[in-house]
Each structure stands twice: as structure tokens, then as C-alpha cells.
Amino acid sequence: MNLKSLKNFFFENIGIKQSVLKNTFWLTAAEMVTRIVQFILIVYITRVLGATEFGEFTFALSFVSIFVVLSDFGLSDITNRELSQDKNGEAEYSSVLSLKILFSIGATILTAIGAFFVTPIPIVRGVIVILAFSVSVSNFFSIIYAFLRSRQRMEHEALVKIIQAVVTIVIVTFTIFNFPSVENISWSYLAASCVSLIIVLLIFHFYVQPLKLNCSIAVWKKFFHFSHSLGLASIFGAILLNADSVIMGYLGQMTQNGWYAAAERVISFTVIPSTLLFMSFYPVLSKLFKQSGERFQTALNYYIESMIVLAVPITLGGFILSSQIISFIYNSNFNPSIFAFRILIFTTGISFIYSPYVMMLIVSGHQNKYFIVNLVAAIANIVLNVILIPFYSYYGAAVTAVITNALILILGIILVKKFISIEIFSVKLFKITLVVVLSAFVMAVAIGRAVACNLNIFLVIIAGILSYFAVLFCFYKYLFKLNFLSEKHE
């Protein structure tokens, strides 16, 4: 492959597979950098603050995360969809930016007011207000990403995310080592978000698309009409992710909240592949849904199969290595996080599997059905957390998370099957799942042997990855020769 071919592969959109691979590559690069930076910062913050103060920080951030959804209200996903399906829609982008600003201001004000009702602790109230501004500013990047994803230019999004990661690690790290406190760390995140946004807006304005604001009521009504169901669904999705920490914090279980949050932060790292594939396939499937049913089915099949191939080994490997992972990342004060991690790792696998069904509801224009899914799951989540947390604390929260994720999967499959004319399961998919499970079993044996030999955790993980994909490849190669999996996608 010559230099020109490489350039075309990484910077041009040629076909479905190539576009997905190119976009996945750039998103992987950016997400790995940003997620690793975020993860390292959280680990240092956790170690410096300890379980109790980290629990306070998590409580404040979780409360903010529920309200800050209002700063987007589904606008970014709808903008991505509309611009992907009709390039003429870029003329409306200036009005979308204006609407995004109004949403952000409203969300920040509501969060700041809510801080005075959710906790009597003055410091925690102050942290909530600071983080409300920080998260709203950081969330503004989503509308920039929507534009870039609609053009399937994830290489530009990668640059934006890397800039944000560099600025964040410089400012927050300086604060952690020189002025370690919950309040100061919150201020540092706000400063990093503001500096990053200014840099990115300047680059976007001069090199991608000139920025301007336009107050078009007609455009606002149009996008709000499309986004309100998705926005409401996002609110309930935020409740699903954060209600447990908010309830524990409200009940004064700050130390337990810190242990639970420590496990959750590792879990958030395991869902990176799912996030990357979702972002890569979303613009492709949005475009193909209106253009070609056959090509849409083909791309969807790739997506579902990819999720299955990743979900099973990550879940099984995480469960087996839970003790080693938590012990390596945190100190002995966080050993109570191990059992919570073992429960929560199942949410990773389930979320991988339900992602394609959630995406199908959105790209097909059934975002109101997605709202129903999140509404039902959020109600179940709140009810179960209110019942279980007072008695079982963070263990009850972990069990609740698994149950509600399973509920999303079940409802997603039912609604897609009922409202969308598309094949969601096939004999080939069953056979692929069987091959994946067998390969994961071999991986589990390899991991067990590596742990018994007291190998470093990184070497154990590498051994697991290599054994899984080696066996998976061998199974595929053998079965294709037998014409066992040789059927083409419909």
C-alpha cells in the first residue's frame, strides 16, 4: 500500500467498511487518549481525596449529570442525523448553535438552584454549582461533534478531543498536586473546559465552518420537535446512570459512594469499544436507512456481530480479574469495591448488546419509543435503588444497575421487532455467538493459568486477548471451510 492509498484510507470516505474502519480508527485514537487521561485523573483524585471525599465529589457530579442533560436535550444526536441525511441542513447549523446556548444556560441555572435542596453541606453545594458550569461548557462540544460526524470526519473530532484532553490533564494535574481539595479540583475542571472550548471554537471557525448565531424560531421548532422525545429519553438515561450515587449521597453514605464510584469508573473504561462503535456506525446507519434497505441491513449486521464479539470476553475477563484490577488501580482502602465491580461488569456486556437496538430506534425516527424504554428503565431503577440501597448500600445499587440494563435490552428488542421491518436475529448470528462463547471459555482458561503464575496484570490481560482472538480466528477459519458460517448477509 503506497502513501496515497494510506492517505485515502485514513482521510477519505470510500465505502461502508472503509468508512467505518477509518472512523473507528480515529475515534479509537481520540477516545483512548481522552479516556486514559480521564481515568488517570480520576484514579489520582480518588487516591488523594480518599473514599469519603471522593464520594462527595461523585455525589455532586452525579447530581449535575442528571440536570446537565437539559443542556443538549437530544439536540446533538438529531443534528447529526439531520445533517447526515441532508447536507443542505448545514445552513440551519447557526440556529442550532443558538438553541444549544439557550439550553446550556437554562440547565446550569436549574442545577445551581437544585443544589440548595439536595444537600445541607455547604462545600458540596458549592461543588455542585461549579461542576454545573463545568459540565455545561464541556457538553457544548457535543454540538461540534454532531457537525463533524455528519460529514463522517472523525479525524477532526479526534483532534478536538485530544486538544481537550491535553488542556485538562495539564490544569487538573497541577491542581491535584498543589491544591488538593474537592472544591479546587472542581474549579480546575471548569477552567480546563473553558480553555479547551475557546481553542476548539477558533479552530472550527477558521478551518471547518464559519461560526455564527441565528435565532430562527422555525428551525428551533423543527429541531425541538425531533429532539424532545430523545431529550426526555436522555434525562431518564441520566437518571439510570446517576440515581444510585445521588441516593447514596442524599442518605449520607459518602464513603460507600466512594467505593461504588471507584468500581464504576473502571467499568466506564470497559465500555469504550461500545462507545467507539456506536459513534462510528451512527452516521453510516443514519444515511443508509433512507438510501438502501439492503445496505442498511448489511451495516447493521456488522454492528451487531461486532458487539457480540466484544461483549462476551470483556464481561467474562473482567469478572475473573476483578480482584487484580481493583487492587492494581487503587490501594487497600478500596477493597470493598471488588465485589461491586464483579456485579457491575455484567452491565458492560448487556450495554454492548442493547446498543444496536437503541440505535435502530433513533435512526429510524422512533426516538419516542426510545423515550419509553428509558422511562420504564428509569422508574424501575429509582424504585429498586430506593428499596435496596438503605439495606444493602452500594451492593444493592450494583444489582439494580444490572436489572435495569437487562430491562433496556428486552424492551429494545421488543420495540425494534414490532416497529421496524428489519432482521434482528438469524441463524448465522446464533452460530457466531456460539463461536464467541467457546473462544471466551478458552480465554478464561488462559487467564486462570496466567494468574496462577503470578504474572503482571497487563501480561494477564494481553494473554487473554491473544488467546481469545487466536481461538476465534481458528474457529472462523475452520467453520468457513465447512461452509458452516459461509452464508452471506441478507
In a domain, 84, yes or no: yes
Residue 326 included in any domain? yes
* CA 194 remoteness from chain centre: 22
pTM of the model: 0.76
Residue with cell 486477548: 465
Tell me if 476 is assigned to some domain: no
Q: What is the dihedral of CA 155, 159, 161, 163, to 10 degrees?
A: 180
CA distance 241 to 237: 6
Query: Residue 183's domain spans which residues?
Result: 13-425
Mean pLDDT score, 370-376: 84
Flag whether 143 is in a domain: yes
Closest to 285 in 3D by CA, of 273, 275, 295: 295
Please say if the pLDDT value at position 82 is more than 90.
Answer: no
Least confident span in 124-138, 195-209, 229-243, 341-355: 229-243
Is position 487 within any domain? no
Helix residue spans in 208-271 (DSSP H): 217-250, 254-270
Given a cut of 90, whether residue 348 has pLDDT beyond it is yes
pLDDT (average), residues 247-272: 90
Instruction: For residue 454, tell me if it sits in a domain.
Output: no
Q: What is the pLDDT of residue 483?
A: 45
Into how many domains does the chain fold? Answer: 1
192 within domain boundaries: yes
- pLDDT tens digits, one per residue of 202-232: 888 887 788 888 888 888 888 887 777 777 7
The answer to whether position 67 is within a domain reads yes
The 10s digit of each residue's pLDDT in 275-286 is 778 877 877 787
Overall average pLDDT of the 235-240 stretch? 80
pLDDT on residue 337: 93
State mean pLDDT over 39-45: 85
| One-letter amino acid for residue 402 of the chain | V
CA-to-CA separations, 477 to 12, 225, 340, 431, 472, in angstroms, rounded: 31, 49, 38, 13, 9
Greater confidence (215 vs 154) lies with 215
